[in-house]
Amino acid sequence: MNNFSQLSRSIENKVALITGATSGMGLATAKLFSDQNAQVIVTDLNEDKINEVVEEISSYGKKCHGIKLDVTNLTEIKSAVAEIVKLFGGIDILINNAGISIPTLINDENYEEYWDKTFNVLLKAQVQLIRETLPYIQKSESGRIVNISSTEGLGATPRQSPYTSAKHGVIGLTKSLAVELGSSGITVNCICPGPIRTGMTEKIPEEDKNLYARRRVPLKRYGEPEEVAHATLNFCLPSSSFINGAILPVDGGLTIKRA
C-alpha cells in the first residue's frame, strides 16, 4: 500500500521559470517560490526592474536569477532557456504569467493590430515557452506547467474580445496539453484570477473597486497577488501529482455568483 502522506510538499531546489515576474501576481509568485527555497528565474521586459527583484530576493539568501525576456520573441526564449539550463542544469516548473490587456471595440480601426499583440503575449508566447522548456521539464521528477488565464476565460466583458478570446484559448491549451503530456508525468494546470490588485487594475478608482466587489464578489473585496501566488504554488507541489487539467478560479466566488 502506498503511503501518500510521504508525498513531498516542498519545492526546495526546484528550478522555476516565471514570466512577467517583476510586478503583480508574477512578482508575488517569485517571492513566494523563493521563500519556499526554489531556484527562481525572474523574467520580464524591464531589466532595471528585474535587477531590483533579483537583488531583493537574493538579499534574503535565496537563489534567484534574472533574464530580460520578450515572451513574443522566440529567439529570446531559446536563449533564455539555454541560459537557465546552463546555470541550473534543467527546468522543473514553468509559470506562464506574462500578460497584456488592450481594451477595444470590434469596429476599432486598430482592432486587428490589438488582436495580434494580445494573442502573441497571452497565448502564442505560452505555446512557445512550453515547447522550448518541455524537453527539460520532461526530465524532472515532478514537472509542472501552470498557465495563467483569467475569469475572462470563463466568461466575457464588453470591449475585451481579444483578451477574452486569448484567455479562453489558454484554458483550451491547458486542457489539451494536460491530456497530451499526462503520460510523461507532467501536470498542466490553469489559474483564472478574478479582480486582483495588480498593475492592470491600479488605475481603477478605489471607490469603483469597492463598488464592484460589493456587487459581484461574494467575499466583497478584490484579491491580493499573494493569494494567486499561493494557488499557483499548490499546483506545483510534488504532492499535487494527481491534479492535472484543472481550471482554478481564484476570484472570491465571482464566477459562481448569479445575482
Residues with a catalytic annotation lie at 163
HSE at residue 200, side-chain half, CA atoms within 13 A, is: 19
Q: Which three cell numbers stand for residue 53?
A: 527583484
Kindly tell me the sign of the dihedral angle through the C-alpha atoms of 99, 19, 166, 229: negative
CA atoms of 244 and 225, how far apart (whole Å): 23
What are the beta bridge partners of residue 187? 144
What SS3 state is found at 202? coil
Query: Got the DSSP string for 229-257?
Result: HHHHHHHHSGGGTT--S-EEEESTTGGG-
Q: Are 72 and 45 in contact (CB under 8 A)?
A: no
What are the beta bridge partners of residue 93? 16, 144
* Residue 52 CA: distances (Å) to CA of 70, 142, 183, 251: 18, 30, 39, 29
Q: Are 218 and 194 in contact (CB under 8 A)?
A: no
First-to-last CA distance in the chain? 47
